[in-house]
A and B are shown apart, each in its own frame.
Chain A
Amino acid sequence: MVPAADFRSYYGRPVVKPPVWKRDIPAYLFTGGLAAGSALLAAGAQFTGRPALRRTGRVSALGALAASTYFLINDLGRPERFHHMLRVAKPTSPMSTGTWILAGFGATAGPAALAEVAPLLPERGPLGLLRRALPPLGATAGIGAAALAPALATYTAVLLSDTATPSWRAAYPHLPVVFAGSALASGAGAGLIGTPVAQAGPARRMAVCGAALELYGAHQVESQGLLGEPYRQGRAGRLLRAGRALTAAGLAGAVLGRHSRVASALSGASLLAASVLTRFGIFEGGVASAKDPKYTVVPQRERLARRQAAADGS
């Protein structure tokens, strides 16, 4: 055994409880990020006059938001009590903060997507009135959704880190970078799938930025010594390595296949799949770190030893 991992425990049982969250939560990490990335893409398209890209972004944001809501409620032990989340607004609870961010995002991304039906409405009558009213409403709502999007994409990193799960807590400086990058890359991926190449330029550039952040952040998370170990081994390691390969493939496809709709769509799909794998990998890495007492005891012992050394030195 390596000296650093020499530790004592109670029959090898975990000290902290691993999260009881089901697959809904890593799935939500993905859909929440996708919603955020898509809303940013839609807002940019709205400002720069790219209607196809705007439509793709808004519809994808709403779809991802609906999926997020489903996953979050389905994961509850008592789903019929989901509205108890709205009893309080608690700054010490990242989940409470996130609930309100998501509620605000829903109230803006929803109308923005709804506004896309305007061209389908008749030109006359009461619906004709709606046809004229919807686009400005959608524009305002779209700006609101984009303003909340970065918070929606990154609060989930705080949610995971504000626990006693060793490898999530230790990764707090880097997880938001992974999640922000993953959100941008997945939103861009949806944009590349749903938009003709003539309007997809910004999605391509967003894919490059997102992939770079995602790769850099994941590298930092995996490089943190003993507490990076759960992200390099087992199921989490396989998921993160596969995610990295697909991110790289998606990145290459987005740049090299910029004249081909098919190549762009394929690279978009690759980026979306990469985001799913990365989220599940980060999730699984934390769960693995909670199940082995080594990751709780050894870093805490080292911290105590450092404190003792500092006290002795002074």
Chain B
Amino acid sequence: MTDDLLDGLSDPARAAGWADAPPRVGFFTDTSVCIGCKACEVACKEWNAVPDDGFDLLGTSYDNTGGLSANSWRHVAFVEQPALPPVDPVSAPVDALAAAAEATPDFRWLMMSDVCKHCTHAGCLDVCPTGALFRTEFSTVVVQEDICNGCGYCIPACPYGVIDQRAGDGRAWKCTMCYDRLGDGLSPACATACPTESIQFGELSRLREKAERRVATLREQGVSRAHLYGADPDDGVGGDGAFFLLLDDPEVYGLPPDPVVGTRDLPAMWKRAGLAALAMAAAAVVSFAGGRR
């Protein structure tokens, strides 16, 4: 049952039964040019009529959204990094302060607009018991709001912690990659609003080529840690429909370093459950065969 899921699918829409599927589309989010303007967050909210998620000051740099949720389908992460471990200005000797100022030529600010990954092997879609989550003709993953009954299974099933239950509504919500806009030949709202082309939308295969070239350019320029995240079709989720260029380890941005869809281990899980079920039946037989009383 999972054989189809386990070999890297190049065309998930066709595998899901769309005979005349258009090419797979996706997002390439290049964090090296993100300026943290949050236009993507705003455009997403406006276009998709996503409700307010509260006015919170989180004390986490300029990030007052916190993370992706039922009411935040784009989330801009802000990471402030000194180039050297900070020196305590009160207790440190003056020489040490001067040395630190010299050795710390720059302070680094990482910004990254996170979004649903629209996985090739989507855990949320696999576990959905109502069929509310489905694979669109564009190979994206979308929740049908008229079908979802709020069972909540997709929420712990997502290896990226993206999809969430909306309080007061009960159903699960996440990025649709603007399914309505795609159908009309438009780009998603976030990519359209992004002023620096940090969020690029297009045919996934072309985006992957473009991203490879961008990484090579950055490395030539001395940004040695630039790397792609979610672009490998052989990773634990078969590659992401929305992938990223990162400048530090994924967990620094709140992303899992090695996500694996639960479905990959499902046959092994059922095997163990089957053994336990057999043990249970055997215990029942033994209990009644064991004696006359």
Contact = CB atoms under 8 A, between A and B. Distances in A.
A binds B: yes
Interface of A: 7-11, 13-21, 36, 40-41, 43-45, 47-48, 75-79, 81-82, 84-85, 87-88, 90-96, 99, 146, 149-151, 153-155, 157-159, 161-165, 168-169, 172-174, 176-177, 179-180, 183-184, 188, 198, 201-203, 205-206, 209-210, 213, 286, 290, 293, 296-297, 300-301, 303-304
Interface stretch (B99-107, B199-207, B238-246, B255-263): B255-263
B165 A95 contact: no
Contacts, number: 253
Contacts of B147: 81, 84, 87
A77 B284 contact: no
A150 B155 contact: no
Contacts of B281: 40, 150
Contacts of A43: 284
Contacts of A11: 58, 60, 63, 254
Contact of B272 (A84, A169, A173, A206): A173
Contact of A16 (B79, B160, B278, B279): B160
Interface stretch (B19-27, B125-133, B183-191, B220-228): B125-133
Given A15-B251, A162-B127, A205-B291, 5 more contacts: A15-B161, A16-B256, A157-B273, A177-B279, A180-B279
Contact of B156 (A16, A48, A201, A203): A16
A90 B131 contact: yes
A174 B286 CA distance: 22
B290 interface: yes
Contact of B150 (A9, A14, A76): A76
A14 B151 CA distance: 21
Nearest to B157: A163
Contact of B283 (A47, A172, A213): A213
B150 A77 contact: yes
Contact of B263 (A75, A154, A162, A176): A162
9 tightest A-B CB contacts, nearest first: A77-B150, A77-B170, A10-B254, A176-B276, A150-B277, A81-B149, A201-B293, A209-B283, A44-B288
B147 to A, nearest CB: 6
A213 B165 contact: no
Given A15-B251, A93-B128, A179-B276, A161 B262 contact: yes
Given A85-B130, A201-B292, A201-B293, A8 B156 contact: no
A153 B274 CA distance: 11
Given A75-B152, A154-B277, A300-B258, A162 B252 contact: no
With most chain B CB atoms within 10 A of its CB, the pick from A8, A14, A210 is: A8
A154 B275 CA distance: 9
B288 A17 contact: no
A13 B258 contact: no
Given A77-B150, A90-B129, A177-B276, A304 B290 contact: no
Contacts of B270: 158
A17 B161 contact: yes
A154 B152 contact: no
A147 B202 CA distance: 52
A179 B273 CA distance: 9
A164 B273 contact: no
Nearest to A287: B156
B287 A213 contact: no
Nearest to B268: A172
A162 B261 CA distance: 8
Contacts of B117: none
A172 B280 contact: no
Interface in B129-158: 129-132, 147-153, 155-158
Contacts of A75: 151-152
A177 to B, nearest CB: 5
A158 B131 CA distance: 19
A95 B286 contact: no
B269 A77 contact: no
Contacts of B269: 94, 157-158, 161-162, 172
B127 A93 contact: yes
A162 B157 contact: yes
A153 B277 contact: yes
B131 A87 contact: yes
B141 to A, nearest CB: 13
